[in-house]
Amino acid sequence: NRLWGSATAPLRSVLISTETRRAQQHQRGIMARSLTGGSFGVQGMLKEGTKHMSGLEEATFKNIDAAKQLSSCVRTSLGPNGMNKMVINHLDKLFITSDSATIVNELEVQHPAAKLLVMASKMQESEVGDGTNFVVVLAGELLIQAEELLKNGLHISEVIGGYNTALAKALEVLETLVTHSASMSVLKSPTELAEAIKPVIAAKQWGNEDLFASKIAEACVLAMPENPAAFNVDNVRVAKIIGNAVSGTTVVKGLCLTRSVLGTIHEVRDAKIVVYGVPVDSSTTETKGTVLLKSAEELKAYNNSEEDALEKTIKAIAATGANVLVCGQSIGELAMHFVEKYKMMVLKVPSKFELRRLCRTTGANNLVRLEPPAPEDLGTCKHVYLKEIGSTWCTIFDQEADNSKTATIVVRGSSMNIMEDVERAIEDGVNVVKSMTKDARFVPGAGAAELLLADALQQYGEAQPGLDQYAIQKFGLSLEVVPRTLAENSGLDATNIVAQMYAAHKAGSTSVGIDIVEGTTKDCGVLDLLVTKKEALKLATDAAVTVLRVDQIIMAKQATLERSVLVPKGYIKVHAVETANPTVHFAVVNTP
């Protein structure tokens, strides 16, 4: 034993030191797991409940799939034969429209990648007012083609580089496709302006494009200032009055308010208008006070003093020459009596937007105190009168001049949904007129410009060295989605239509597009605004590239809030989940 003990002493010390190290490592592991919530890697670094996805399969392809779903949803609404979507939002409001800006806005998209396409569409709407569907459809097609390249082995940076190169080349080629440049005199001619915006209206209201294009052009010419660059789209207002058909839509010089007057005076010529943003009634003191009345005579004198003060104010207002009083808030009965006594027309306009338009139309200032206006605060209008349109009484401020600052398009229709869709088409047309004041160059429409760009980019890609050429060719191929979709939505054979268009373009007829009436290809004289195409190409490419640049998705745990709610027999602990949806969901988690 002594020999064995002396011989194994070094071995025992090694075993003891090994056990000690194992115990220390185990202790450190327990401590690390306690600090990281029991997991290692990225999950251990982040807060508990956080989701982490990375790589092509988990992040990139999932983002592309979400964008594809949104693109395919609005793709069937592209063009004159585009289908309507019935959308019911969280407030139970019904939308029936083919306008993609409205569709994507009311869908309440939650996926972050799809939201990028929604934001690009909104930016196109605010910048140009048209081409929102083109942005979403093209961005979705670019991502579909990029997915194919990534599965074939190309790196994301090569795809992004190719797309950026293709965009620069596309914008360069697009400048050479201009076939018509409108002069500034077009903005003063209703007939020529109607021809320019007709393709935009046809894409939204097919069959009624002649009617609405002429009405929009008439209203825009009425509201066009001497300097067209200063044209304000808010000066062309839309008033919706239910009844009749859409063919009963008319244009009113000046401002048309869909509300009646309050008094008995229904018409004023050479009106001087005073606008108040405060209630027209007896003034109240800013501080509370107590009045001690000792007799009936004192009470009567007190009431009479209030009436005298209000009458004095109204009389002073009438003495300035004002004969139309517009109030943004309430009008008291006593004040109404004195206004009628001094022969003034009274109108209540609770909407601050309408009040602002009224001030801009008449040149009046919105006063915030009930006092006589200064001469520069008074607005003027040639003729203010009440008119019944359908069964609705409307107050019309008519300047009776060809250069009126404001024009109103009175839209008629059998239902509110129809009139709202017409209103969206009118807004798009007015926005295109605004874009024409900056750049009035046009390129071939009906899918011709996109196919010319597709052909030019595919030829350009074949001549490029390196792997970028594949992405450039796919960018060109993506642009074919517009003529293909137009053909599919019209019930035509997309492959044959695109082949016929390519053949016509090679033969020199570069303006040949899709004739959806006869179901063939020919030069229909359809033109699209150059600015619309340029902005749409930029925004669609930026959205697609932004989605492709994402290689990791890190989602934090949704915020929660716990509260204790008192009840007669104790309390309950309530768990409230705060979400993007305005509705907050409550669940009882403890009832002691």
- pLDDT for 560 equals 60
How sure is the predictor about 552, in pLDDT bands with cuts at 50, 70 and 90? confident
Helix (H) or strand (E) holding 494: helix 494-506
Query: Which residue reads 């209103």 in tokens?
Result: 423
Is 413 domain-assigned?
A: no
Which range among 21-30, 143-152, 553-562 has the greatest average pLDDT? Answer: 143-152
| Burial (Cβ within 10 Å: 0-12, 13-18, ≥19) of residue 277 | middle
Q: Identify which of 167, 195, 198, 149 has the alpha carbon closest to the alpha carbon of residue 428.
A: 198
Is residue 11 pLDDT above 60, yes or no?
Answer: no
Q: Which amino acid is at 215?
A: K
Phi, psi of 431 (to 5 degrees): -65, -35
Do 294 and 378 belong to one domain? yes
Is 133 domain-assigned?
A: yes
Instruction: Give the mean pLDDT of 8-30.
Output: 58
Is residue 16 pLDDT above 60, yes or no?
Answer: no
Instruction: Give the mean pLDDT of 369-382.
Output: 83
- Between the CA of residue 143 and those of 7, 101, 457, 475, what are the distances in Å? 73, 20, 17, 10
Joined together, the tokens standing for residue 167 give 């965009």
Do 349 and 393 belong to one domain? yes
Is 382 domain-assigned?
A: yes
105 close to 122: Cβ distance less than 8 angstroms? yes
Among the listed ranges 31-45, 213-227, 365-379, 497-511, which one has the minimum average pLDDT value? Answer: 31-45
Instruction: Give the mean pLDDT of 441-450.
Output: 84
How sure is the predictor about 278, in pLDDT bands with cuts at 50, 70 and 90? confident
Is residue 578 pLDDT above 50, yes or no?
Answer: no
254 close to 396: Cβ distance less than 8 angstroms? yes
- Cα–Cα distance measured from residue 398 to residue 384, given in angstroms and rounded to the nearest whole number: 6
Do 366 and 481 belong to one domain? no
> 16 or 407, which is more confident?
407
- pLDDT for 159 equals 87
Q: Identify which of 134, 76, 103, 99 has the alpha carbon closest to the alpha carbon of residue 537.
A: 134
Is residue 14 pLDDT above 50, yes or no?
Answer: no
Does this model's pTM top 0.85? My answer is no
Query: Which residue reads 């016929």 in tokens?
Result: 500
SS3 108: coil
Helix (H) or strand (E) holding 441: strand 441-444
- pLDDT for 40 equals 53
Share of the chain above pLDDT 90, in %: 0
Do 575 and 524 belong to one domain? no
Distance of CA 114 to the CA centre of its chain: 16
- pLDDT for 467 equals 81
Q: Identify which of 354, 365, 404, 402 has the alpha carbon closest to the alpha carbon of residue 381.
A: 404
Do 461 and 349 belong to one domain? no
Q: What is the CB neighbour count within 10 angstroms for residue 319?
A: 10
Q: Which of 398, 429, 463 is the last residue of a domain?
A: 398
Helix (H) or strand (E) holding 497: helix 494-506
Do 110 and 69 belong to one domain? yes
Is 208 domain-assigned?
A: no
Is residue 562 pLDDT above 60, yes or no?
Answer: no
- pLDDT for 496 equals 87
Instruction: Give the mean pLDDT of 440-458.
Output: 85
- Cα–Cα distance measured from residue 258 to residue 237, given in angstroms and rounded to the nearest whole number: 12
CATH code at 352?
Answer: 3.50.7.10
Do 121 and 32 belong to one domain? no
Question: How does the average pLDDT of the chain come out, rounded?
Answer: 78
Among the listed ranges 5-19, 192-206, 503-517, which one has the minimum average pLDDT value? Answer: 5-19
Instruction: Give the mean pLDDT of 441-449.
Output: 84
- Cα–Cα distance measured from residue 233 to residue 432, given in angstroms and rounded to the nearest whole number: 10
Is 173 domain-assigned?
A: yes
190 close to 236: Cβ distance less than 8 angstroms? no
Do 260 and 345 belong to one domain? yes
Is 425 domain-assigned?
A: no
Phi, psi of 514 (to 5 degrees): -95, 125
Joined together, the tokens standing for residue 258 give 């869909």
Joined together, the tokens standing for residue 561 give 């809030």
- Tell me the CB-side half-sphere exposure of residue 311, using CA atoms within 13 A: 10
Length of the chain: 592
- Cα–Cα distance measured from residue 398 to residue 383, given in angstroms and rounded to the nearest whole number: 5
Beta bridge partners of 285: none
CATH code at 93?
Answer: 1.10.560.10
Do 531 and 585 belong to one domain? no
pLDDT in tens, 91-113: 888 888 887 778 888 887 778 88
Distance of CA 26 to the CA centre of its chain: 59
- pLDDT for 591 equals 47
Is residue 262 pLDDT above 80, yes or no?
Answer: yes
Is residue 66 pLDDT above 70, yes or no?
Answer: yes
Helix ranges (DSSP H) in 367-523: 416-436, 448-462, 468-478, 481-489, 494-506
Is 419 domain-assigned?
A: no
Do 334 and 261 belong to one domain? yes
- pLDDT for 98 equals 81
Residue 19 domain boundaries: 2-38
First and final CA of the chain: distance in angstroms?
68
- pLDDT for 402 equals 61
Do 488 and 569 belong to one domain? no
Is residue 286 pLDDT above 70, yes or no?
Answer: no
> 8 or 165, which is more confident?
165
- pLDDT for 26 equals 61
- If one counts the domains in the chain, the total is 4
328 close to 277: Cβ distance less than 8 angstroms? yes
Q: Which amino acid is at 579?
A: T
pLDDT in tens, 170-201: 888 888 888 877 777 788 888 888 888 888 88
8-46 in b/e form (b: 16+ CB < 10 A) is: eeeeeeeeeeeeeeeeeeeeeeeeeeeeeeeeeeebeeb
Is 100 domain-assigned?
A: yes
Do 546 and 521 belong to one domain? yes
Q: What is the C-alpha R_g of the chain?
A: 34
Is residue 31 pLDDT above 60, yes or no?
Answer: no
pLDDT in tens, 318-355: 888 888 888 888 887 788 888 888 888 888 888 888 88
- Residue 286: which residues within 8 A CB-CB, separation 6 or more? none
